Amino acid sequence: MHFNIVTLFPEYFSGPLDCGQLGKARESGLLSFSFHSPRDAAEDKRRTVDGPPYGGGPGMVMLPGPLSRTLRGLGFIPRSAGGPGPLLLFKAGGIPFGQTRAAALAEEADRSGRDRTLTLICGRYEGIDARIEELFPAQPVSVGDFVLNGGEAAALCLIEAVSRLLPGFMGDERSREEESFTPGLCGGLPEYPQYTRPEVFEGLAVPKVLLSGDHAGIALWRRQASLLAALQIRPELAAAAALDHDDRAWLQSVCRPATGRNLYCALVHFPVLDREDNPGAASLTNLDIHDIARSSCTYGLGGFYALTPLADQRALLRDILRYWTAGPGARSNPDRARALALVREGEDIACAVADLELRTGTAPLLIGTSARSGHGGPPEMTFAEIAGYLQTRPVLLLFGTGRGLAPQALEMCAAVAPPLRALGAYNHLSVRAAAAVTFDRILHDLD
C-alpha cells in the first residue's frame, strides 16, 4: 500500500515511519510513502503557501493555488471524483475516524493489491482554503475532538491504524481479531484487561479463570470484562454494542442500570398556553398521568408531580391514584401500581419545589421544556449539561400541558432544555411522548 502525504513538513515523518512494525513493513515493501510539499508548487520566490483570511480574524490560511497544483500533480482532477485512490483531508471538524473506517480502507487495499494508494492532506495554520474541498474529492477526517498544530500527527495515527490491518503486517494475524473496537470477541467494545508473568505482582493476583485452562470460561470472562470496561469508561460503546440475553442478565446482576434517582418531573397544568397563546389552566388527563408515570418508573426518576390549582382536578387525580395504587387496579396490574406510586399531587410549581427541597434537603435545579426555539425565556441547557447536574443536586423538569409552559412558568426556571426537533417544521408531540424522549436523552440506558 502506498501513502501520498501532502505536508509542509515532510521531516515530521522521518522517525516514526522507520521504527517498529511500520519500519519493518516499509523495508519489506508492504508499505511505501512519498512526500509532497505545497511549497514546491508555490510560484513566488519566497515559496509562499499561506495568506490572511478574508473577513478578518487571527492566523493564516493555506493558499489554494500551491495545494491545488500539488494535487493535480498526483493525478487528481478538479471537479472530478477520479484520482489515484481515496483523498483524505485532516481537519478538526471532519468526520470522526474510527476502527470501522480503518478496516474499510485496509480491505480496499487488500482487494486491489499492494499498489493501492491513499493520499493524505495535512493542513496547517487555521486550515486550508475551503475551495479545495469543493474542487477535489477530499473526505474531511478528524482523529479526535481536539485541535492539533497540523494534520501530521493525525496522519501518523491513520497510517498506523490502517497499516496494521493489512495482511502480513502483524506477526500474529489473530492479534487483530480481539482488539478494542473490532468486531469479534470484543464486539466493538474496549479490549479486556491483559496479564502476564508473574502471577502475583505487588500483592495483586492474575484472575484465577485465566490460569484455569477453561477456554469457555476465559472467553466469557473476557467478554464480561470488556462490557464492564465500556460501562465504566466508554458508555456510548456499551449502548451501541450488540448485547444478547446473557450479556444483559449479567449486567443486571453486577450493576444498576443508569437511573434518574436525582431527576424529577412535573406535569404543569397552570400557567400554560391555550390555543390563542394566552396563559391559563388546562384539564388533567388520565392518559398523561399513566404514561408519564410509566416513563418515570422505566427511567428510574425520583418522582413525578402532577400540578393543578383546580380542586376538582386534584380530586380526580386522587381518585385515579387510589384506584391504581390501593384499589382493584393495584391487584390486577401491580406494574401499573408501581409506576403510579411515583405520582405526587401539588397545586403549583412552587409547591413541587418546596416539597422536593424538603425531601432531598437541597433546592432543585428547575429546568423548563419548550417545543419552541427563541421562546424569550432563560437560556437553553444541553441534555448532557442537565445530566451533569444530577451528580450533585436534584433536577426538576417542567412539562407544560395545553400548548406548553406559559412565560410566567419559564421565568421561574434556571434554564430550558432544547426543543426535541429544533429544525423540524412540525413539532407537536404529545406531552407524554415529549417526556419519554426527554428522559431518554438525559438518561441513556447504559451509562
Helix (H) or strand (E) holding 176: none
Show the CA angle centred on residue 356, arms to residues 351 and 359, nearest 5°.
130
pLDDT the model gives residue 243? 86
CA 217 to chain CA mean position, Å: 32
Regarding whether 238 and 186 lie in a shared domain, the answer is yes
Region 346-375: mean pLDDT is: 92
- Asked if residue 171 is part of any domain, the answer here is no
Helices (H) and strands (E) in the chain, counts: 16, 17
CA–CA separation, 263 and 356 (whole Å): 11
The answer to whether residues 105 and 209 belong to one domain is no
In a domain, 118, yes or no: yes
Q: Are residues 46 and 97 in the same domain?
A: yes
- Locate the DSSP E strands across 97-218: 117-122, 138-142, 200-201, 204-205
DSSP character for 308?
-
For residue 356, the domain's CATH number is: 3.40.1280.10
Cell numbers for 40, please give them. 514546491
d(CA 298, CA 290): 12
Q: Is residue 168 part of a domain?
A: no
Own/partner contacts of 240-245, CB < 8 Å, gap of 24 or more, are: 240/188, 241/187, 241/188, 241/189, 242/187, 242/188
In a domain, 22, yes or no: yes
Beta bridge mates, 119: 4, 87
Beta bridge partners, 308, equal: none
Say if residue 350 is in the same domain as residue 382.
yes
For 231-259, what is the mean pLDDT?
Answer: 78
Question: From CA 391, how far away is CA 210, in angstroms rounded?
Answer: 36
Which segments within 389-444 are labelled E, that is strand? 395-400, 415-416
Number of domains in the chain: 3
CB 443 within 8 A of CB 254: no
Cis peptide bond upstream of 78, omega within 30: no
Q: Are residues 248 and 308 in the same domain?
A: no
Phi–psi pair at 89, nearest 5 degrees: -120, 120
- Alpha carbon distance 249, 188 (integer Å): 19
Taking Cα atoms as reference points, which of 439, 301, 302 lies closest to residue 360? 302
Does the pLDDT of residue 115 top 80, yes or no? no
Does 237 fall in a domain? yes
Which residues form the domain of 67?
A: 2-163
Q: What is the mean pLDDT of residues 202-218?
A: 96
**What's the burial of 292, exposed, middle or buried (CB within 10 Å: 0-12/13-18/19+)?**
buried
Please answer whether residues 239 and 427 qualify as being in contact, where contact means their C-beta atoms are separated by less than 8 angstroms: no
Among 226, 255, 284, which residue terminates a domain? 255
37 vs 55: CA distance, rounded Å: 27
Which of helix, strand or coil describes residue 397? strand
Tens-digit pLDDT profile for residues 4-24: 999 999 999 999 999 999 999
Q: How confident is the model at residue 180 (pLDDT cuts 50, 70, 90)?
A: low
> d(Cα 308, Cα 311) in Å, to the nearest integer?
8
pLDDT at 447: 42
Pairwise CA distance, residues 31 & 233, whole Å: 34
In the prediction, which pLDDT does 4 show? Answer: 98
Indicate the residue among 118, 135, 163 that finishes a domain.
Answer: 163
For position 212, which CATH number holds? 1.10.1270.20
Backbone phi, psi, residue 38, to 5°: -60, -20
Cβ 15 vs Cβ 171: under 8 Å = no
Q: How confident is the model at residue 436, as a pLDDT?
A: 97
Look at residue 222 and tell me whether its pLDDT is greater than 60: yes
User: Is residue 169, in this structure, part of any structural domain at all?
Assistant: no
User: What band does 237 get if pLDDT is binned at 50, 70 and 90?
Assistant: confident
Q: Do the domain assignments include residue 447? A: no
Of 255, 278, 302, which residue sits at a domain end? 255
Tell me the three cell numbers of residue 60.
Answer: 493564516
Judgement on whether residues 297 and 278 belong to the same structural domain of the protein: yes
- Percent of the chain exceeding pLDDT 70 equals 92
Range 153-179 average pLDDT: 84
Residues 308 and 419 in one domain: yes
Same domain, 199 and 330: no
Q: Are 418 and 439 in contact (CB under 8 A)?
A: no
Mind listing the pLDDT tens digit for each residue in 62-107? 999 999 999 999 999 999 988 899 999 999 999 999 999 999 999 8
User: How far is Cα 432 from Cα 287, in angstroms, rounded to an integer?
Assistant: 8
Least confident of 163-177, 301-315, 349-363, 422-436: 163-177
CB hemisphere CA count around 44 (13 angstroms): 7
> Rounded to whole angstroms, how far apart are CA atoms 31 and 115?
9
Identify the pLDDT of residue 235: 73
